[in-house]
Amino acid sequence: MEEQMEIESPVVGADFKSAPTTGDIPRGLEIQRSKRLRGNITFTGDAHYAMFASAIASLGEEATRLENVPEAPWFQNYRTCLETLGASFERIDNHWLVRRGVAVGVKDRLHIQPPNDIAALILAGLASGLGVPVQWHYDLLRTSSDVRALLSAVYPEGELHRKARNFCKPFELKWDDTLAKIPLMFHHLALGEGLELQLRRQGSDLLETLLRQFEIDLKVERDDDKNADELTRRLARQMRATGKDELLTRVKLPVSSKPKAAFISLPADVGEASIVALVATLIKGSDVLIENVLLNPGRGGFFKALKRMGADIEIVQRKERFGEGVGALRVRSYDLFGKRFDEEALSDLRDETFLLLLAATFAEGESVFRDLEYLHVDEHDPLKSFVADLKQAEVEIGEFEDGLVIRGRRESDGATHDALGHIGLAAAYAVLGLKSHGASNVLGADVLEERFPGLLKRLRFLGVPE
């Protein structure tokens, strides 16, 4: 099958090839407009699922078997980071055996460069919980400023902040709850300490679901849960009595929690599925079935947002696996409509936010996006670059503090775009190229193949170009 996919064929859905150097324009990825996409497509394991599962398994005495693990360079880097912290990975046929390996000595400070935001949060929690001194080297394009700021606040001098121990309210230090819970959970899991978190926004429950798959008796309760324990209900009554009616989610990790051996087959990557879903939505006549997709409400935030804009996304062949939904998504082309998105609607999106901004440029009416500060990355500002590119393409965009107003249009012409080595920009520009008339050239698009190996090859076999 792989040999067949290498053959150039006139029956393709997306035409990608290396663009030649012309004048001052360096080589990039040339993309031709696609007429329609049709067929079935599947992907290797979801990035977040793979990172969480392998990190939990690295703390277990017995081996966990992981199938459909990403083969991308970024995951190989992440696996190396876990091995540096003492994890053991053994490849057998098409799966990995993961367990606790040889204990790491703490005499010398280890040098670790996380490949992305979630990896940085997980590795920081593990390193501190294991008592391993680490010198962090962040890639500024792949680790956002808010994640680096959060880790600096949670782990001053490499040690867990005193207010982040035991019964913890992350937002007392103005931390982002959905991000802070990740390093805190892994810190206490690695240390064997119990933990009680109070969260305003639980965010994706993927980590909680996976911990249960490893037979860890994790408790998750909300203040309005009638089945919550008496302490939780009493605290909720006290808050209402003082006029603080904000609902909290309480996550309780028992003392001495030890991951048990598990067999986990990873569902398809949500990031890749999001790209294909947007392409199929925007290109007329498209009808694509994306198989084995993780349907976790938090990880599926992009699909929910796109459906709000009118996208025709149908869940078929749904099944539950260890309390987690998995199924196929059928996506057909449909006209989009502008909507409003705030912090709550965008809380589970990171790089996929650029895909949602692009969707708004082809939606009827106005779309309003608030709380976009997390997209600014120091001197490398992908959001600023993206907005400038869209304005040059004559898209009407209004800017206000930490937000945008985008008035959609139906068509666009091919142009040269610079992805700056940022995966969110590269994905959005690739979709824009497939939608635009004529050829587009995306510079720095090699990050697409690094993050999603084989994605462009799969897209070639989903239909016919103009």
Instruction: Give the catalytic positions in this structure.
Output: 351
Query: CA 145, CA 378: separation in Å to the nearest integer?
Result: 7
For residue 450, the surrounding DSSP H or E stretch is: helix 446-451
- For residue 401, give every residue at least 6 positions away whose Cβ sits within 8 Å of its Cβ, in sequence order, or none: none
Query: CA 333, CA 193: separation in Å to the nearest integer?
Result: 50
| Residues 8/17, Cβ–Cβ less than 8 Å | no
Residue 466, judged by CB atoms within 10 A of its CB (0-12, 13-18, 19+), counts as: exposed
Structure tokens at 139: 């890639």
Query: CA 326, CA 316: separation in Å to the nearest integer?
Result: 10
Residue 299, judged by CB atoms within 10 A of its CB (0-12, 13-18, 19+), counts as: buried
Residue 337, judged by CB atoms within 10 A of its CB (0-12, 13-18, 19+), counts as: middle
The residue assigned the tokens 């305003």 is 200
Pairing state between β 110-112 and 87-92: unpaired
Rg (CA), the chain: 22
